[in-house]
Structure 1
Amino acid sequence: MDFKNKIVLITGGCSGIGKIMARKSLERGCQKLVIWDINEEGLSQTKEEFSKMGGEIFTFKIDVSSLDDIKVTAQRVRTEVGSVDILINNAGIVVGKYFHEHTHEQIDKSISINTTALMHTTLEFLPGMIEKNSGAICNIASSAGLISNPKMSVYASSKWAVIGWGDSVRLEMNQVNKKVSVTTIMPFFINTGMFDGVKSKVLPILEPEKTSERIMNAIEKETKMLAMPLPYWFIRLSQGLLPIPAFDWVMKNVFGVYDTMKEFTGRK
């Protein structure tokens, strides 16, 4: 999917990799860029910062944990901007604590923002893509959706759901013969502040600029799944071949995955 002359919508688009992908969409010549975010000040600053890059920029303050907000704002986009060609479901949150330390409200918020918001947002714009027989959906999941990890139980579950749902939609588009690509991204920790305090024994903490570029390339190439830095197939193959105790030992003692969240602080 070429970004040139397209309408691109990015959720969580005024910070982290969302903001970088917004800039890269403009650099690639998108006609209209739509940014959804809950941060009104961030939206204003981002629009001003990108104002001279070409392409029209539309910003919408939205709480994606609210279905009513999603419905109303999606209708505004269709009316004020047009039919979305490329949807990047990027908004997300993390609560880094043991499951028994969560509140019910934190569980609901995590699942609504990280999982169901992607489904509801896609449901608003997918019919338009199907009607045009053209479109691209990119879901930012996480390697936490592949590997269980202490202090990430709810976050991991929200991302596991996104991986299963998103790839099922990809298969559905194939079955109904529609040219709508679905790309699922499963990155390790990215150095954006969201995961401040995490420590990785072997695997590198990903750099936002390079990671964003790889995601943009994946959308352009209509890549089905992209995990980084460990490839998707390696993780799944290891899980399939190794008994659970052996896999746990490798993840803890070789890669150090199970201890990454011990000193997590998150974005202040």
Structure 2
Amino acid sequence: MDLKDKNVIYSGGFGGIGLAGVREFLNSGAKYVTILDLNENKEAMFELKTSHPGAKIDFIPVDLAKKESITAAFKSAVEKMGHFDVLVNGCGICKDSEVDLTIQINLLGLIHSTLTALPYMDKSSGGRGGTILNISSICGLEITPLYAIYAASKHGITAFTRCMGDQIYFDRFGVRFLAICPGLTKTNLIKDNYLSTTFKFCQEIAKRYRHAIVQSAEECGKNMIKVIETGKNGGVYLLDLGNVEEIPYKRQWVVTYETHYKPNMDLKGKNVIYEGGFGGIGQRCLREFLAKGVKNLVIFDLQENADILQDLRTSYPEANIFFFAFDITDKNSITAAFEKAVEKIGHFDVLVNGCGLMDDTKVELMIEINLMGLIHSTLTALPYMNKSNGGRGGLIINISSVAGLEPTAVVAVYSAAKHGVTAFTRAMANPHYYKHFGVSFITICPGITETNLVANIHDKVIFKFAEVLGARLDTAERQSPEVCAQNLVKLAETGKNGGVYMLDLGEIKEITFPTMWTPVFNS
């Protein structure tokens, strides 16, 4: 792609990499560059306009945490520019103590920006097509336990971009999607980043990153332009220490159209909390846990299902079964539910985060339920389980999806959220965390399962024209929720800390991940 005389929108253009990237666009002959950011950097604007007098450079304020601000910013940009050929989604924060803000800016804001930009670029509706480059991170390639929430958001970006790079979208929109994953870069984002860890007890370990070899923002900016000029649609590129490397991905799962385990965790007499227990897979899992002899079973869900509750109590009279209403999108509701549960049963040994929604037409709700709610539930549960503070340790099982292993274009937002779940859970399984908390983490990735979640997928896609993809997926071979539940409980007994397991068509397969990046430290 020749950038000469092109119109560019750069979201986050006053950041460390952002400003370097803007300069490189201008050096490459861009005609018009509009910077979207929370606040204007007047000194930088003066320097850019002075050094590139032949180019038009504008600033428009945007708050990526607010959808209406994104909409207004793009509308204003197009009114001024007429059109744009390139969008760079470059806003980002690394502050794991601010869970909601991290997900809102890094992932949800990027998705909203992309979906807002596409109608302006859409070739099938009179647009010119173009390129959207999303800035992920090395933390969107490798799990980064010290920054588990940041890693979850960045894995979501990588997955979302790969989904949007699907050929059916390119044929429709004429828009090429690229993801770049910068290594450690000398910017304010990593300044004192030891203060931004998921847990405070890790701050001393994080100080080691002060000695890591970092690249300059200028090197990263130059290589970003190289990727825009030459990168292939759907490509993911590592930009580290001045080098560009395309990341190959091993296919983990494909849809199918028309092991023996020795338990190492005895569930008998254990206390289990199951979130989303009245869902399709959830209610079958409840039966499997009860059949294993659990002592106390607590169900969290939005509404009580009195018939299922009564049936479980009748079928398993020796167990204590409780229900507490909770809203996974409300932190206060999550906190209250755990308080009530612990007050009732004293402690819990196993937590299953099983709430889920698949409907890409509801972007915010998808991220809130599938990713943010799961993170908040995990962080709420850990203090009760924390062995270093008097707890008993235990097991947390997070339910992801095959769409959290393989980018699934037809449900790109769902896939982004589930990739975030997979990354977050792998990050939390770090041995340093296990030593501190005594809590194991397992990721479960069910294949297409016969439940309401996957009913009429064609009605749940982002774009109307993609309904054909959803309709085809509606015909895919499915497993029963009963067999999925049986295998989930097997893994509660046998799964290893950090294990990621695909449960598809009655089979269990452990997923292995290649190491894509490690930091380089000064000797």
Instruction: Give the aligned partner of residue 163 of structure 1.
Output: 422
2:311 corresponds to which residue? 49
2:335 pairs with 1:79: no
Deviating 4+ runs (over 6 angstroms) = none
Corresponding residue for residue 299 of structure 2: 35
Secondary structure of residue in 1 paired with 2:452? coil
SS at match of 1:214: helix
Does structure 2 conserve the Cα–Cα contact (< 8 Å) formed by 1:62 and 1:73? yes
Contact 1:7–1:82 at 8 Å: present in 2 too? no
Q: CA 1:121–1:173 in 2, change beyond 3 Å: closer, same or farther?
A: farther
**1:227 correspondence with 2:502:** yes
- How far did 1:5 drift? 0.8
3-state DSSP class of the match of 1:176?
helix
**Separation in structure 2 between the aligned mates of residue 133 and residue 78 of structure 1, nearest angstrom:** 13
**From 100, 121, 125, the counterpart of 2:377:** 121
Tell me which of 215, 224, 228 is aligned to 2:488. 215
Question: Separation in 2 of the partners of 1:15 and 1:5?
Answer: 24
CA displacement, residues 197-234 of structure 1 (integer Å, 9 cap, x when unaligned): 35459973121111111111011113311113384548
**How many residue pairs get matched?**
227
Letter in 1 for 2:408: N
* CA distance in 1 between partners of 2:366 and 2:445 (Å): 17
Deviates most, 47-56 or 201-210: 201-210
C-alpha distance in structure 1 between counterparts of 2:399 and 2:412, whole Å: 18
Q: Judge conservation of contact 1:173–1:180 (CA < 8 Å) in 2.
A: no
Superposed CA deviations along residues 176-200 of structure 1, whole A, max 9, x for unmatched, are 2554221101121111121123545
CA contact (8 A) 2:487 2:503 kept: no
Q: Say if 2:272 and 2:349, in contact at 8 Å, map to a contact too.
A: yes
Larger RCO, structure (CA 8 Å, separation 6 or more):
1
Range that drifts further, 83-92 or 145-154: 145-154
Question: Partner residue of 2:160?
Answer: none
Cα distance change of structure 1 residues 68 and 144 upon mapping to structure 2, 3 Å threshold: same
How much does 1:58 deviate?
0.6
The DSSP-based 3-state class of the residue aligned with 1:87 is strand
* TM-score using structure 2 length: 0.41
For the Cα contact (< 8 Å) 1:226–1:232, is it kept in 2?
yes
What is the CA deviation profile of residues 33-74 of structure 1, one whole-angstrom value per residue up to 9, with x for unaligned ones? 00011123x1x2222011120210110111111111101111
Counterpart-to-counterpart distance in 2, 1:89 and 1:81: 18
Picking from 322, 330, 348, the partner of 1:58 is: 322
**1:10–1:36 Cα contact (<8 Å) kept:** yes
Q: Percent identity?
A: 26
- Specify the code of the residue in structure 2 equivalent to 1:153: A
CA distance in 1, matches of 2:379, 2:351: 11
The separation in 2 between residues aligned to 1:201 and 1:193, in whole angstroms, is 12
Which of 146, 155, 165 aligns to 2:405? It is 146
Match status 1:184 vs 2:448 = no
Q: Deviations 1:144-171 (Å, cap 9, x if unpaired)? A: 0122222311111110100000011111
Contact 1:89/1:140, CA 8 A, preserved across alignment: yes
Greater CA radius of gyration, 1 or 2?
2
Structure 2 residue runs without a partner (length 5+) = 1-264, 458-471, 517-523
Cα displacement (A) at 1:77: 1.1
Distance 1:232 1:27, change over 3 A: closer
- The whole-number CA distance in structure 2 between the counterparts of 1:77 and 1:118 is 17
**Inter-partner Cα distance in structure 1 for 2:365 and 2:437:** 33
Range 117-126 or range 135-144, more displaced: 117-126
Give the aligned CA root-mean-square deviation in angstroms: 2.3
The 3 A distance-change label for structure 1 pair 67 and 201 is closer
Unaligned runs of 5+ in 1: 97-101, 241-268
1:109 match: secondary structure = helix
Q: Distance in 1 between matches of 2:453 and 2:275?
A: 16
Query: Which residue of structure 1 lines up, in the alignment, with residue 396 of structure 2?
Result: 137
Letter matched to residue 356 of structure 2 = G
Q: Is the 8 A contact 1:83 1:125 kept in 2?
A: no
